[in-house]
Chains A and B, each alone.
Chain A
Amino acid sequence: MKKYVCEPCGYIYDPTDGDPDGGIDPGTAFEDIPDDWVCPVCGVGKEEFSVLEE
């Protein structure tokens, strides 16, 4: 599963960790996150995220 980076603030969504505070269980692929989820750091929507190139 790929990591995604929030373009505005740099937060990295790691599917291994999920976002438990935002209701996303560890192990959830970014693609499977509901569309109303927002970046836990800066509050923008999923559309502002892009695949993290490592």
Chain B
Amino acid sequence: MKAKEIAPDIYWVGAIDSQIRNFHGYLTQKGTTYNAYLIIDEKITLIDTVKDTHTDEMMSRISDIIDPSKIDVIICNHVEPDHSGSMPAVLKHCPNATVVTGPTGEKGLNMHYNNNWNYHIVKSGDTYSIGKRSCQFVLTPMVHWPDNMVFYIPEEKILFSNDSFGQHYATPQRFDDEVVKDFALFEAKKYYANIVLPYSGQVKKELEAVSEFDISMICTSHGVIWRSYIPEIIELYKEWAHNVTQKKVVIAYDTMWKTTEKMARTIYEAFDEKGYDIKIMDLQVNHESDVMTEIIDAEYICVGSPTLNSEMMANVAKFLTYMRGLAPKDGRKAIAFGSYGWNAKSVPHIEQYFKDSNFDVVLSLNQQYRPTEEDLESIKAQTINVLS
């Protein structure tokens, strides 16, 4: 495998995982990449590694440039195994290499790999020289693990951002301007919604810290490198971190005998009359990670389920559990709706998830058995009423 030179003496030596579709529950329709980088300087430096399933691919790219035993420094920005998974394999080649990471990074690496590697521990504001270049570190805890950090090389104006600004997007191209721009930005949005969203408070701190840097390239750990659309991706991160919403609603539901679906369509009509951008998503066919992508900038979230044996439908429970973990901290406005035969339990269950997610439940709608025209008119009128 060939390495790709992305700047003089700086190479991408990562791996392309085109086949992966389930990334711990996140549907990765376009696969992903694990980006590792190699810098040839006085100290030969490897930046992150790849998932252990792709160790051979990375080693082959490293070997395209140098003998891996010559690696002097491995910088670990994030302990999660899709980035640190190949570290034991690399360190077999260069057992005396220095592992540069933060204090929680060291703790995490020890717990993952039970090692006695030579560590150099950095904290925010520290600089570590690798020769002609220096690395300036910023710890970014909980974006999205405790150990996350990023660093900047002023001599190159490159930010190595690890998961921040990343996208699950497998492509042989390495740069944002070599792919369809909207694909890259969409996958960055999906990534934020499914990985980073609950940590927006920490993202704001990170954005403030990196705003000090004059950046000409953002080398992420997944997907393409940003060089042409840096202002766009930074601006989007600001919007997402600040929970900027659009005049938009997401209506997600499951249905048994079409009553809840009719309610969903009636709620749709109400939002349509009020001029909202609407995403209506049947949870039987839409993955919860795709629903999250739409929620990120939606003002309203409406969730519907019929009652099934005193519970909501399992598809809805699955989605709500996933959403509660990722819920934006500032909350959203929410509508719970659902049908029932004799025991109206689904809507209270949905309301509870909304409350746990810090959402403001502005309306709850229950419908027994089949809705009449009058029932549907009432649902629409009540919905329009809360939007007025």
Would you call B329 and A10 a contact (CB within 8 A)? Answer: no
CB of B104 within 8 Å of the partner chain: yes
Contacting pair B146 A42 (CB below 8 A): yes
Question: Are A11 and B329 touching (Cβ within 8 A)?
Answer: no
Q: Secondary structure at chain B's binding surface: helix, strand, loop or mixed?
A: mixed
A8 pairs with B146, CB closer than 8 A: yes
Whether A41 and B201, one on each chain, are in contact in the complex, defined by CB atoms closer than 8 angstroms, is yes
Answer yes or no: A9 CB below 8 A from chain B CBs. yes
Which chain B residues lie closer than 8 Å to A40 at the CB level?
201
Interface size of A in residues (CB-CB distance below 8 Å): 8
- B202, CB-defined interface residue at 8 Å: yes
Q: What is the CB-to-nearest-CB distance from B353 to chain A, in angstroms, rounded to a whole number?
A: 16
Q: In the bound complex, what is the Cα–Cα distance between A9 and B202 (angstroms)?
A: 11
Asked if B141 and A41 sit within 8 Å, CB to CB, the answer is yes
Per-residue CB contact flags for chain A residues 19-32 toward chain B (1 = under 8 Å, else 0) read 00100000000000
Contacts of B139 in A (CB 8 A): 10
Main secondary structure of the interface of A (DSSP, over half): loop
Query: Are B141 and A9 in contact, CB atoms less than 8 angstroms apart?
Result: yes
Q: Contact at A10–B104, with CB atoms within 8 Å? A: yes
Indicate whether B199 reaches chain A with its CB closer than 8 angstroms. yes
- Given A10-B104, A10-B146, 16 more pairs with CB closer than 8 A: A8-B104, A8-B146, A9-B104, A9-B141, A9-B142, A9-B146, A10-B139, A10-B141, A11-B142, A41-B141, A41-B142, A41-B199, A41-B201, A41-B202, A42-B142, A42-B146
Name B's A-contacting residues (CB within 8 A): 104, 139, 141-142, 146, 199, 201-202, 329
CB-CB nearest 10 A-B residue pairs: A9-B146, A10-B141, A9-B141, A8-B146, A41-B142, A9-B142, A42-B142, A41-B202, A42-B146, A10-B146
Contacts A/B (CB < 8 Å), 17 sampled: A8-B146, A9-B104, A9-B141, A9-B142, A9-B146, A10-B104, A10-B139, A10-B141, A10-B146, A11-B141, A11-B142, A21-B329, A40-B201, A41-B141, A41-B142, A41-B199, A42-B142
